[in-house]
């Protein structure tokens, strides 16, 4: 495999991971979420291929590459990284017809994979943006987001929401995005967290095998919504169902549907409250909502795991940490912690030791800052 220096690329796309302050598993339920793009990124170097129909994409991380002819790629579902590329090419070809030609791409990354900070969306969005800019398709951000979601649904088989792609395309330095996933309206929130910062702690429990559990949650919520619609047919999404309507009609649901629906309604309210608290710099109360969110994800939505629970419980002992919860799809991955900046280093030392003793596994801290979303740099 060539190295980047020899590659002689034309454009570089920097595609970031994301954090989500609060509002987990409610994007596909039409709720509100509070994500932001971060400084950890996938780097994608692109150039056109002179033979015009061959596509070659290499991953430095996996030390693997895929080569295919534009005319030949097929549609199949699997979660290998190469399938993200095939999926993007499939939809871009449909959209742009003969304008899409052969290309080469090299992918490098400082974004930890499978840890709940959306490395997969960063990859898909990076490929779409790169091809859009290399061939000057001028596809809108919204359309690119739409393609990214279709690739995850139809090529990877995960029926994910829209939060990650929005954070990647609309992220701004030091701003949190309040996204309503029903109307797709965005509001940028100024984030002043100093002297606190967000620290991610990666359990190193890989969550990649969880796609079937993720899809199960999506289906349970769909079924719950269908049932509530029999009572209130104007309801457009599960997140807008009030806690009362769910509790008062408990007998309509299976036990799982009831728990999922209750969580979704409560979490959506927590996001709206959190937005106000963040805007008024009331971080202590916001931190409490982070802890409540984790309780809901653990007990009602059931997407946590013992390693995540341990980290969240452990943080409760320390007043320097205002809030902590699992982040992303769950079943592993990271916790997000709101922690006093000068306490980050000693806390990492302390908690890493305890985590290793308990689980015989390494804990990986990820210190992040909130940065601009995806961008293309011309050489
Ligand atoms: C994954 C999905 C998102 C969202 C989160 C959970 O990251 O890609 O759409 O559902 O899980 O909040």
CB of residue 41 inside a 6 A radius of ligand 1: no
User: Tens of pLDDT along 325-342?
Assistant: 999 999 999 999 999 999
Tokens, residue 13:
């796309």
Confidence of residue 197 (pLDDT cuts 50, 70, 90): very high
What is the model's pLDDT at position 210?
Answer: 60
DSSP line for 238-263:
GGGS-HHHHHHTGGGS-HHHHHHHHH
Closest ligand 1 atom to 214 CA: 11
Cα of 207 vs centre of ligand 1, distance in Å, is 12
Closest residue to atom 8 of ligand 1, CA basis: 160
Cα of 247 vs centre of ligand 1, distance in Å, is 26
User: Tens of pLDDT along 350-379?
Assistant: 999 999 999 999 999 999 999 999 999 998
Closest residue to atom 11 of ligand 1, CA basis: 329
What is the model's pLDDT at position 1?
Answer: 59
DSSP line for 316-336:
TT-TTEEEEEE-TT-SSSEEE
Confirm if 7 and 46 have CB atoms less than 8 A apart. Answer: no
What is the model's pLDDT at position 61?
Answer: 87
Would residue 27 show up in a list of annotated catalytic residues for this protein? no
Asked if pLDDT for residue 209 goes beyond 60, the answer is no
Of 164, 174, 232, 244, which one is the catalytic site residue? 164
CA 313 – CA 324 distance, rounded (Å) = 9
Confirm if 371 and 16 have CB atoms less than 8 A apart. Answer: yes
Of the listed ranges 172-181, 188-197, 301-310, the least confidently predicted one is 188-197
CA–CA distances in Å: residue 222 to residues 12, 225, 249? 40, 5, 16
What is the model's pLDDT at position 98?
Answer: 77
Summarize the confidence of residues 222-239 as an average pLDDT. Answer: 96
Tokens, residue 313:
């419980």
Q: Which of 161, 213, 294 maximizes ligand 1 atoms within 8 Å of its Cβ, making it the mutation to test the pocket?
A: 161
Summarize the confidence of residues 288-305 as an average pLDDT. Answer: 98
State the pTM of this model.
0.96
What is the model's pLDDT at position 342?
Answer: 97
Closest ligand 1 atom to 20 CA: 12
Of the listed ranges 72-86, 245-259, 331-345, the least confidently predicted one is 72-86
What is the model's pLDDT at position 2?
Answer: 63
What is the model's pLDDT at position 208?
Answer: 64
Could you tell me how far CA 68 lies from the centroid of its own chain? Answer: 28
What is the model's pLDDT at position 254?
Answer: 98
């Amino acid at each position: 495999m060539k190295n980047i220096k020899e590659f002689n690329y034309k454009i570089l796309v920097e595609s970031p991971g994301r954090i989500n302050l609060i509002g987990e598993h409610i994007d596909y339920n039409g709720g509100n979420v509070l994500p932001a793009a971060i400084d950890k990124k996938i780097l994608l170097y692109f150039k056109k291929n002179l033979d015009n129909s061959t596509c070659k994409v290499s991953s430095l991380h996996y030390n693997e590459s895929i080569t295919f002819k534009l005319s030949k790629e097929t549609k199949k579902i699997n979660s290998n990284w190469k399938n993200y590329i095939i999926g993007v090419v499939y939809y871009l070809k449909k959209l742009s017809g003969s304008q899409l030609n052969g290309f080469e791409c090299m992918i490098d990354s400082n974004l930890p994979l499978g840890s709940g900070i959306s490395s997969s969306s960063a990859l898909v969005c990076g490929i779409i943006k790169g091809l859009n800019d290399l061939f000057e398709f001028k596809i809108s951000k919204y359309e690119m987001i739409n393609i990214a979601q279709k690739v995850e649904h139809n090529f990877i088989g995960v029926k994910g929401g829209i939060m990650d792609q929005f954070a990647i395309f609309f992220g701004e330095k030091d701003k949190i995005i309040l996204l309503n996933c029903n109307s797709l309206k965005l509001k940028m929130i100024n984030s002043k967290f100093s002297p606190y910062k967000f620290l991610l702690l990666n359990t190193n429990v890989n969550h990649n095998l969880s796609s079937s559990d993720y899809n199960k949650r999506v289906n349970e919520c769909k079924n719950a919504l269908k049932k509530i619609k029999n009572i209130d047919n104007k309801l457009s999404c599960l997140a807008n169902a009030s806690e009362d309507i769910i509790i008062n009609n408990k007998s309509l649901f299976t036990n799982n549907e009831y728990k999922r629906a209750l969580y979704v309604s409560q979490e959506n309210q927590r996001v709206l409250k959190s937005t106000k608290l963040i805007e008024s710099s009331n971080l202590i109360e916001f931190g409490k909502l982070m802890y409540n969110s984790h309780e809901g994800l653990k007990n009602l939505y059931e997407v946590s795991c013992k390693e995540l629970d341990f980290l969240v419980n452990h943080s409760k002992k320390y007043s320097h940490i205002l809030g902590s919860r699992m982040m992303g799809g769950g079943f592993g991955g990271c916790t997000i912690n709101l922690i006093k900046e000068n306490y980050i280093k000693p806390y990492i030392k302390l908690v890493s030791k305890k985590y290793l003793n308990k689980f015989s596994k390494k804990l990986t801290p990820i210190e992040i800052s909130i940065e601009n979303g995806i961008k293309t740099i011309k050489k």
